[in-house]
Structure 1
Amino acid sequence: MVDELRSRIMRAVKSKNTAPEMAVRKLIYAMGFRYRIHGTKLPGSPDLVFRSRRKVIFVHGCFWHGHDCKRGSRIPRTNTEYWLKKIKRNCARDIESVNSLISDNWKCLVVWECEIKNEAHLREKISLFLEKNEKLDGGESLSQG
């Protein structure tokens, strides 16, 4: 019974149009920036694409992408080995996607789910990223949070 319930819950987890992504999209739109969503032709399918600026934003869930915050560093009590491997694969894929984008002269920013609570900080972070002209280091942009 518990496994069936867990499976149903996990199937309901969305990968697109999540609450954190929608909050970031709403904020960026209110800031006056326009974008495309879910860049399927780009590595990692970035959540927001600013093609004319050659910039992308990924909105990552802290748990699913292994962030070092309280929520992201939780270890599941059941099926632990599976979940740790899955999160590790997600992190490796994220790094690979960002590196590929950077090598194609795209600038990348990762917004973590936990950052959405502090709208002033998030607004500043996004504004600096979108208005900044020089190239950001991929590791720097990936580790911000």
Structure 2
Amino acid sequence: MSLIKGKDTKPEIILRSMLHRSGFRFRLHDKKLPGKPDIVLPRYNTVIFINGCFWHRHENCKYAYTPKSRQDFWNKKFQATLLRDTKKEKQLKDAGWNVVTIWECEIKKQPDNVLDELTDKLIN
């Protein structure tokens, strides 16, 4: 698992590129914020997490399967990830940030829709 990338993943790079082309300016992986959000848009008081469907258990997604071997290990690992996600989201909201979660499969399937929805959330 040490080879699994934690940042600068393909979905992250795709979304960052689309945001930048649309005129949004942002910071990456701000260590001062809980959970080190993937993208921080200070002007809009918004943080974005780009979650992998497998690791963060995207409901009803074909990529969020549980491996057949060592299921106890995987279930504990996934449960810990979900608890950590909930905790960091609550901390950010309590600090006044808007939290947006974008799923890997959404970026793969419909990147333009993701950008449109995100732009609507940021501007409106």
TM-score bracket, shorter-length normalisation: over 0.9
Report what 2:103 is aligned to.
112
Runs (4+) of structure 1 moved beyond 3 Å? Answer: none
Task: Return 101-110 or 119-128, whichever deviates more.
Answer: 119-128
Distance in 2 of aligned mates of 1:125 and 1:96? 25
- Provide the TM-score with structure 1 as the length reference: 0.81
| 1:38 corresponds to which of 23, 29, 46 | 29
- RMSD across aligned C-alpha pairs, in angstroms? 1.0
Distance in 2 of aligned mates of 1:82 and 1:70? 20
Match of 2:101, SS state, is strand
* Aligned residues of 1:66 and 1:88 also touching (Cα < 8 A): no
Structure 1 portions without partners, runs of 5+ = 1-9, 133-145
Distance in 2 of aligned mates of 1:18 and 1:34? 19
The one-letter code sitting in structure 2 at the alignment partner of 1:60 is N
1:87: Cα distance to partner?
1.0
Report what 2:67 is aligned to.
76
Match of 2:7, SS state, is coil
Report what 1:128 is aligned to.
120
Structure 2 portions without partners, runs of 5+ = none
1:120: Cα distance to partner?
2.2
Distance in 2 of aligned mates of 1:120 and 1:52? 22
Q: Deviations over 1:76-130 (max 9, x none)?
A: 0111111111111111111111111111110010010000120221111211121
* Aligned residues of 1:61 and 1:112 also touching (Cα < 8 A): yes
Match of 1:123, SS state, is helix
Q: Percent identical across equivalent pairs?
A: 37
How many residue pairs were aligned?
A: 122
The reply on whether 1:61 has 2:52 as its aligned counterpart is: yes
1:52: Cα distance to partner?
2.4
1:62: Cα distance to partner?
0.4
The one-letter code sitting in structure 2 at the alignment partner of 1:103 is D
Larger Rg: 1
Distance in 1 of aligned mates of 2:21 and 2:43? 19
- Provide the TM-score with structure 2 as the length reference: 0.94
